[in-house]
């Protein structure tokens, strides 16, 4: 518990507390409700695994909830260096990514914005064409038609961009970007990640 | 060393397509959210990548998109990278050797199989890490089964096997219909034996 | 090659399907269509086409890094490029992810990064069409100035035809009969426009200042409206509000009888909206289905559109398999085929050659005369002049009627 509060403080310091709170509200709270339902209500109190509300097993269940929360906070902390856009390549290189792996990582993170924009455009266009469906079933049935322009966009983009990369030698150029010791120095990130995994393993086994 | 093997594994075009599939996997979450649909599209990009580019690319797209989702959406995704890898392997095997996407009935069967697989593969993680819950309506089913005296692992597997097939069948059908309706000239650039085998492309000659 | 080597940029002129793209691609060492075999970076050339988002590397997280990736540090006219980013008001954009920029900004960034590579040969295929006249002029200064000392440039650009510049011109001819727009087509005229009054329409995105700040205007069918406004003035926001994609914060639409209309309740009921980029609004697997054609010529109205837009020969093709010129036309025809009282066309002439532009202008004039409500958004001064239109300008979140001379003055500020 204390550990988590400490992490929250750190998250606040690096400025991504809101991201974590979002996680708490939309993922963690439903998880806790689920835990309460399964362990507290459904499993009879006499069962060795169930606790009935108020027994000693409640402590273990609460522990699970805390563990997930703390782990999430820790993980988000590890990824902080990646949120600094302008240093992404430097950070990833410092983490040891090279060649195709580096291209893949940088491109996926950069292209999310493109795809989000396209998704938004496709949905607007569908409304503008008067094709928007009203009830849930027809919306499900329309999904393929909605996603088709997206898939074609993705395929065309891949063909065009692969040509661009080769023609301009961009992969080679990417490798030549000088690596300085940026915000996410490799050792710190590796240390945090290793710590998180070790701690998770330990708490699972306890 | 990794650089060398990767280089021989993917051509430029595959390398350019993979990040787009990863980004698509994440952006699709927005579609579902916007349309307020009761399904997930979390495996569609992985299925498409596997069908278009083969097994290694499919696994990488699945794993990488969930790693990235754990960064930009919610950290819990990181625990399900194994499920994504299993999805890619399953789709590859079924499409390549059983032509599981040759027709709509086959695609439905493939989808049901995928759902059962996904439910079973993710169950141990759900039990170990999350105490058996997923924070969704599915927990009601789990609770129901558990209250009848079943072990928690069994309860989670059963609830997974009950809810996942619907969702995964829809996703397989969506991927199937997307590839069927794509311009053939474009698909031709990604020609491979299983795209031909499942009737998405005509055999040469 | 000597220092004095300074070839003037060459403009390739010619109608659609005259092979300009293939020529340009060959010029920089690319196969005629994308996807062919290619050897790595031997040619020292750079190519940019009108789908500019595909010419952003995806390997740089900000516009500035995109330029650095393309070798801005080593570029001999680095200072010129940096000066241009100020002139083109790209400075703030350079700190953002290139994929969050608007179409015009992306187009400028791709041309600048291609220039930063200091290529021997540069080919620009229609990418300058998306820019306003003022921005295009600035770009041409770079291409014909510092860049020309090291690089031979060739361009294809339908709008430069009307641009008095010092470009050398070179004409290509199409190989045979190709589908063109037909200028003589009458407007099928099933519906007529409605008089509409926009009263105090305000809109703001979630965290931002008002984009539309009290739009008061009376729309009256009979003449084409041309909507002007600088980049980011809110032209597409206004279109989305009218179409019903966005719900205004306040304000209302009134019919001639004073009845209130709420577009967001019935999107696309009153205004149909054709987007600038055709590729994301084509949803069907055959052009026929896209246009909503059922059966044979029974559906008279839409068949007039098919004829007018020169689409007979492609009715059974996959819309997304067609070349850009035709994709744009299919998307436009599909929007018009909704026969709503009003239709908004965003940059309808992209990719279309002069003859097609004139045919489209004639068609739209006739449609407006027949009573259809037509609103055109276009950066092409030449095309706007063909429309015999009412000009309206979106400025500071407000809409007003203007005369064309005022607009060119506004854009130069």
When pLDDT is averaged across residues A77-97 and rounded to a whole number, the result is 74
Helix (H, G, I), strand (E, B) or coil at C132: coil
pLDDT in tens, A30-52: 777 777 776 666 555 444 444 44
Residue of A nearest to B143 (CA): A38
pLDDT in tens, C157-168: 888 877 666 567
Establish if A1 touches chain C: CB-CB under 8 angstroms: no
What is the least distance, in Å, from the CA of C269 to any CA of chain B? 20
Establish if B48 touches chain A: CB-CB under 8 angstroms: yes
Q: What pLDDT, on the 0 to 100 scale, is given for residue C299? A: 58
Establish if A163 touches chain C: CB-CB under 8 angstroms: yes
Q: What are the angstrom distances between the C-alpha of A1 and each of A15, A19, A67, B129, C142?
A: 21, 19, 9, 17, 61
Ordered domains of chain C (ranges, CATH)? 10-171 (3.40.50.300), 196-412 (3.40.50.300)
Burial C273-290 (b: 16+ CB within 10 A, else e): bbbbbbbbbbbbbebbbb
**Closest in B12, B20, B133 to A154, CB measured:** B20
Enumerate the residues of chain C whose CB falls inside 8 A of the CB of residue B181: 285
Q: How confident is the model at residue A58 (pLDDT cuts 50, 70, 90)?
A: low
Q: How confident is the model at residue B131 (pLDDT cuts 50, 70, 90)?
A: confident
Question: Both tokens of residue C261?
Answer: 């209309």
B86 contacts B121 by C-beta, under 8 angstroms: yes
Q: What pLDDT, on the 0 to 100 scale, is given for residue C3? A: 43
Q: Do A64 and B10 touch (CB under 8 A)?
A: no
DSSP string, B95-139: HHHH-TTSSHHHHHHHHHHHHHHHHHHHHHHHHHHHTT--SSTHH
Q: What are the angstrom distances between the C-alpha of C322 and each of A149, A150, C314, C328, C348?
A: 13, 16, 8, 9, 17
Residue of C nearest to B181 (CA): C285
Establish if B19 touches chain C: CB-CB under 8 angstroms: yes
Residue of C nearest to A89 (CA): C60
Q: Do A128 and C45 touch (CB under 8 A)?
A: no
Residue C240 CB-half CA count within 13 A: 22
The sign of the torsion formed by the CA atoms of C262, C264, C267, C272 equals positive
Q: Which chains touch B (3 or more CB pairs under 8 A)?
A: A, C
C293 contacts C311 by C-beta, under 8 angstroms: no
Q: Do C61 and A110 touch (CB under 8 A)?
A: yes
Establish if C323 touches chain A: CB-CB under 8 angstroms: no
Q: Do A129 and C283 touch (CB under 8 A)?
A: yes
Establish if B183 touches chain C: CB-CB under 8 angstroms: yes
Selection from C327, A10, B71 nearest residue A2 by Cα: A10
Residue partners of B156: CB distance under 8 A and separation at least 6: B123, B126, B127, B132, B142
Percent over 90 (pLDDT), chain B:
48
Residue of C nearest to A154 (CA): C54
When pLDDT is averaged across residues C331-346 and rounded to a whole number, the result is 92
Alpha-carbon span C369 to A120, nearest angstrom: 35
A153 contacts C54 by C-beta, under 8 angstroms: no
For residue C334, pLDDT over 90 is answered with yes
What is the least distance, in Å, from the CA of B154 to any CA of chain A? 13
Lookup result for tokens 């041409």? C140
What is the least distance, in Å, from the CA of C406 to any CA of chain A? 31
When pLDDT is averaged across residues A15-39 and rounded to a whole number, the result is 72
Selection from C178, C180, C184, C188 nearest residue C291 by Cα: C188
Residue of B nearest to C318 (CA): B183
Residue of B nearest to C321 (CA): B183
Q: Do A113 and C272 touch (CB under 8 A)?
A: no
Residue partners of A135: CB distance under 8 A and separation at least 6: none
Q: What are the angstrom distances between the C-alpha of C238 and each of A69, B19, C260, C341?
A: 44, 34, 18, 17
Q: Do A79 and B170 touch (CB under 8 A)?
A: no
Residue A99 CB-half CA count within 13 A: 13
**Closest in B27, B78, B135 to A31, CB measured:** B135
Q: Do C68 and A177 touch (CB under 8 A)?
A: yes
Q: What pLDDT, on the 0 to 100 scale, is given for residue B180? A: 92
Enumerate the residues of chain B whose CB falls inside 8 A of the CB of residue C285: 181
**Angle in degrees, CA C191, C194, C198, rounded to 5:** 145
Q: What is the mean pLDDT of chain A?
A: 74
Q: Do A151 and B19 touch (CB under 8 A)?
A: no
C249 contacts C243 by C-beta, under 8 angstroms: no
Residue to test with chain C: of A119, A124, A172, most C Cβ within 10 A: A124
Lookup result for tokens 């949803």? C283
Residue C278 CB-half CA count within 13 A: 26
pLDDT in tens, B51-85: 999 999 999 999 999 988 888 887 788 888 999 99
Helix (H, G, I), strand (E, B) or coil at A201: helix
What is the least distance, in Å, from the CA of A181 to any CA of chain B? 22
Q: How confident is the model at residue A200 (pLDDT cuts 50, 70, 90)?
A: low
**Closest in C35, C58, C285 to B181, CB measured:** C285
Range B7-197: architecture per CATH: Orthogonal Bundle (1.10)
The number of residues making up chain B comes to: 205
Enumerate the residues of chain A whose CB falls inside 8 A of the CB of residue C284: 145
Q: What is the ipTM of this complex?
A: 0.87
Enumerate the residues of chain B whose CB falls inside 8 A of the CB of residue C280: none
Q: Do A158 and B17 touch (CB under 8 A)?
A: yes
What is the least distance, in Å, from the CA of C290 to any CA of chain B? 13
For residue C90, pLDDT over 70 is answered with yes
pLDDT in tens, C26-52: 888 888 877 666 655 555 789 999 889
Establish if A191 touches chain C: CB-CB under 8 angstroms: no
Residue to test with chain A: of B3, B135, B182, most A Cβ within 10 A: B135
When pLDDT is averaged across residues C96-120 and rounded to a whole number, the result is 91
Residue partners of C125: CB distance under 8 A and separation at least 6: C20, C21, C24, C25, C47, C48, C49, C50, C155, C156
Q: Do C71 and A173 touch (CB under 8 A)?
A: yes
- Packing angle of the helix pair B152-180, B104-130 (nearest 10 deg): 140
The number of residues making up chain C comes to: 413
Q: How far is CA C355 from the centre of its chain?
A: 17
pLDDT in tens, C392-413: 999 888 898 888 766 654 444 3
Alpha-carbon span C109 to C113, nearest angstrom: 6
Alpha-carbon span C264 to A126, nearest angstrom: 14
Largest CA distance in chain B: 61
C45 - beta bridge partners?
C121
DSSP string, A91-104: HHHHTT--HHHHHH
Q: Which chains touch C (3 or more CB pairs under 8 A)?
A: A, B
End-to-end CA distance of chain B: 40
Enumerate the residues of chain C whose CB falls inside 8 A of the CB of residue B13: 35
Q: How confident is the model at residue A129 (pLDDT cuts 50, 70, 90)?
A: confident
For residue C213, pLDDT over 50 is answered with yes
Percent over 70 (pLDDT), chain B:
94
Lookup result for tokens 């031709």? B188
pLDDT in tens, C281-328: 899 999 999 988 765 555 578 888 888 898 988 899 999 888 888 999
Alpha-carbon span C406 to C393, nearest angstrom: 9
Characterize the bridge pairing of strands C10-13 and C152-156.
parallel
Helix (H, G, I), strand (E, B) or coil at C260: strand
Q: What is the pTM of this model?
A: 0.85
Residue partners of C161: CB distance under 8 A and separation at least 6: C11, C13, C354
Q: Do B19 and C285 touch (CB under 8 A)?
A: no
H-helix segments, chain A:
2-14, 17-23, 29-35, 57-83, 88-94, 99-128, 136-168, 170-176, 186-205
Q: How confident is the model at residue B158 (pLDDT cuts 50, 70, 90)?
A: confident
End-to-end CA distance of chain A: 16
For residue C192, pLDDT over 80 is answered with no
C16 contacts C5 by C-beta, under 8 angstroms: no
Q: How many CB pairs under 8 A join B and C?
A: 13
Percent over 70 (pLDDT), chain C:
88
Q: What is the mean pLDDT of chain C?
A: 85
Residue of C nearest to B19 (CA): C58
**Angle in degrees, CA C282, C287, C292, rounded to 5:** 85
């Amino acid at each position: 518990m204390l550990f988590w509060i400490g992490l929250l403080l750190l998250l606040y310091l690096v400025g991504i507390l809101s991201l974590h709170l979002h996680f708490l509200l939309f993922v963690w709270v439903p998880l806790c409700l689920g835990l309460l339902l399964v362990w507290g209500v459904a499993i009879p109190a006499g069962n060795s695994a169930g606790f009935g509300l108020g027994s000693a097993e409640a402590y273990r269940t609460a522990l699970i909830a805390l563990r997930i929360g703390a782990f999430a906070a820790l993980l988000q902390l590890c990824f902080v260096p990646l949120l600094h856009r302008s240093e992404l390549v430097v950070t990833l290189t410092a983490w040891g990514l090279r060649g195709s792996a580096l291209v893949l990582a940088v491109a996926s993170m950069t292209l999310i914005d493109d795809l989000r924009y396209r998704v938004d455009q496709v949905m607007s266009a569908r409304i503008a064409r008067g094709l928007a469906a009203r009830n849930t079933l027809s919306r499900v049935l329309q999904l393929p038609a909605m996603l088709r322009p997206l898939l074609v966009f993705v395929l065309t983009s891949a063909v065009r961009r692969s040509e661009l990369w080769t023609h301009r030698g961009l992969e080679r150029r990417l490798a030549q970007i000088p690596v300085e010791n940026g915000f996410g120095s490799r050792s710190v990130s590796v240390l945090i990640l290793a710590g998180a995994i070790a701690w998770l393993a330990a708490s699972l086994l306890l | 060393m990794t650089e060398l093997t990767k280089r021989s594994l993917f051509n430029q075009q595959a390398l350019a397509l993979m990040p787009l599939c990863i980004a698509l996997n994440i952006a699709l979450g927005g579609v579902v959210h916007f349309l307020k649909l009761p399904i997930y599209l979390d495996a569609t990009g992985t299925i498409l990548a596997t069908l278009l580019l083969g097994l290694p690319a499919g696994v990488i797209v699945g794993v990488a998109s969930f790693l990235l989702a754990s960064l930009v959406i919610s950290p819990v995704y990181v625990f399900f990278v194994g499920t994504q890898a299993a999805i890619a392997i399953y789709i590859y095997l079924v499409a390549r050797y059983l032509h599981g996407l040759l027709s709509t009935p086959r695609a439905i069967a493939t989808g049901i199989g995928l759902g059962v697989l996904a439910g079973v593969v993710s169950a141990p993680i759900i039990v170990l890490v999350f105490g058996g819950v997923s924070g969704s309506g599915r927990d009601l089913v789990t609770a129901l089964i558990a209250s009848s005296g079943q072990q928690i692992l069994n309860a989670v597997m059963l609830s997974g096997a009950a809810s996942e097939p619907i969702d995964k069948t829809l996703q397989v059908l969506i991927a199937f219909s997307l590839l069927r309706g794509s311009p053939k000239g474009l698909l031709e650039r990604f020609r491979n034996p299983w795209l031909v085998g499942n009737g998405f492309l005509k055999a040469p000659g | 090659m000597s220092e004095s080597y300074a070839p003037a940029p060459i403009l390739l002129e010619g109608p659609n399907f005259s092979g300009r793209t293939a020529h340009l691609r060959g010029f920089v060492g690319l196969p005629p269509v994308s996807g062919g075999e290619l050897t790595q970076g031997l040619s020292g050339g750079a190519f940019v086409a009108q789908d500019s988002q595909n010419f952003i590397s995806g390997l740089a997280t900000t516009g500035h890094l995109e330029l650095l990736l393309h070798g801005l540090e080593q570029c001999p006219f680095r200072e010129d490029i940096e000066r241009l980013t100020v002139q083109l008001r790209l400075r703030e954009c350079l700190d953002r992810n290139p994929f969050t920029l608007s179409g015009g900004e992306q187009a400028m960034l791709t041309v600048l990064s291609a220039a930063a590579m200091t290529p021997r040969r540069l080919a620009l295929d229609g990418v300058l069409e998306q820019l306003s006249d003022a921005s295009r002029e600035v770009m041409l200064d770079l291409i014909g100035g510092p860049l020309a000392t090291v690089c031979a440039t060739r361009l294809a650009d339908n709008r430069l035809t009307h641009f008095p510049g010092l470009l050398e011109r070179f004409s290509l001819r199409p190989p045979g009969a190709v589908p063109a727009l037909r200028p003589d087509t009458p407007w099928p005229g099933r519906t007529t426009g409605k008089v509409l009054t926009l009263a105090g329409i305000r809109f703001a995105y979630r965290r931002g200042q008002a984009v539309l700040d009290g739009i008061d205007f009376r729309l009256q069918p009979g003449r084409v409206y041309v909507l002007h406004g600088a980049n980011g003035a809110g032209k597409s926001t206004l279109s989305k509000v009218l179409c019903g994609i966005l719900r205004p914060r306040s304000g209302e639409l009134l019919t001639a009888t004073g009845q209130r209309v709420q577009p967001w309740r019935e999107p696309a009921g009153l205004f149909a909206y054709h987007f600038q980029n055709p590729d994301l609004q084509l949803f069907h697997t055959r052009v026929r289905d896209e246009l909503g054609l059922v059966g044979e010529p029974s559906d008279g109205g839409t068949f007039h559109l098919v004829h007018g837009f020169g689409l007979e020969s492609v009715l059974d093709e996959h819309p997304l398999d067609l070349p850009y010129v035709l994709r744009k036309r299919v998307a436009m025809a599909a929007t018009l085929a909704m026969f709503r009282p009003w239709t908004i066309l965003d940059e309808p002439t992209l990719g279309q050659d002069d003859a097609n532009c004139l045919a489209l202008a004639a068609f739209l004039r006739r449609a407006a005369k027949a009573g259809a409500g037509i609103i055109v958004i276009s950066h092409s001064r030449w095309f706007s002049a063909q429309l015999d239109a009412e000009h309206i300008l979106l400025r500071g979140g407000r809409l007003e009627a203007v005369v064309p001379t005022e607009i060119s003055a506004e854009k130069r500020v």
